[in-house]
């Protein structure tokens, strides 16, 4: 897939990719450069550790988590079924 950087330096992630990854507008992303390549990934989520009823520690996200898109759910199901 191709995309173009506009005059303000913005890059549009193609809709099929946004849908598969369930990316939403305003979501924080991390952008890094490695050996002349650009890597984009979701920024780490802030979590706090809480004790469960069983006394175990669990990560509790401090913000809302993105939903899974239909393509990513289907992809996960196919991986599990293999």
Residue at token pair 């990316």: 23
Determine the structural domain holding residue 36 and report its residue range: 15-81
CA–CA–CA angle 42, 15, 5 (5° rounding): 75
Q: What is the pTM of this model?
A: 0.56
- Where helices occur in the chain by DSSP H, the ranges are 15-21, 70-81
User: What are the residues whose beta carbons fall under 8 Å from the beta carbon of 46, sequence distance 6 or more?
Assistant: 61, 62, 63
Reading the chain (82 residues) residue by residue, the pLDDT tens digits are 899 999 999 999 999 998 888 888 888 899 999 999 999 998 888 889 999 999 999 998 887 776 677 877 888 888 889 8
Report if residue 2 sits inside a domain.
no
Q: Helix, strand, or coil here: 69?
A: coil
Report if residue 5 sits inside a domain.
no
Report if residue 55 sits inside a domain.
yes
Give the chain's domain count.
1
Report if residue 47 sits inside a domain.
yes
Report if residue 26 sits inside a domain.
yes
């Amino acid at each position: 897939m191709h995309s173009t950087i506009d005059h303000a330096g913005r890059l549009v992630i193609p809709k099929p990719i946004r849908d598969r990854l369930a990316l939403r507008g305003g979501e924080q992303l991390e952008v890094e450069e490695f050996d002349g390549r650009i890597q984009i990934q979701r920024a780490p989520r802030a979590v706090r550790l809480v004790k469960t009823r069983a006394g175990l520690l669990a990560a509790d996200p401090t913000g809302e988590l993105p939903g899974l898109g239909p393509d990513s759910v289907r992809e996960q199901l196919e991986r599990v079924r293999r």
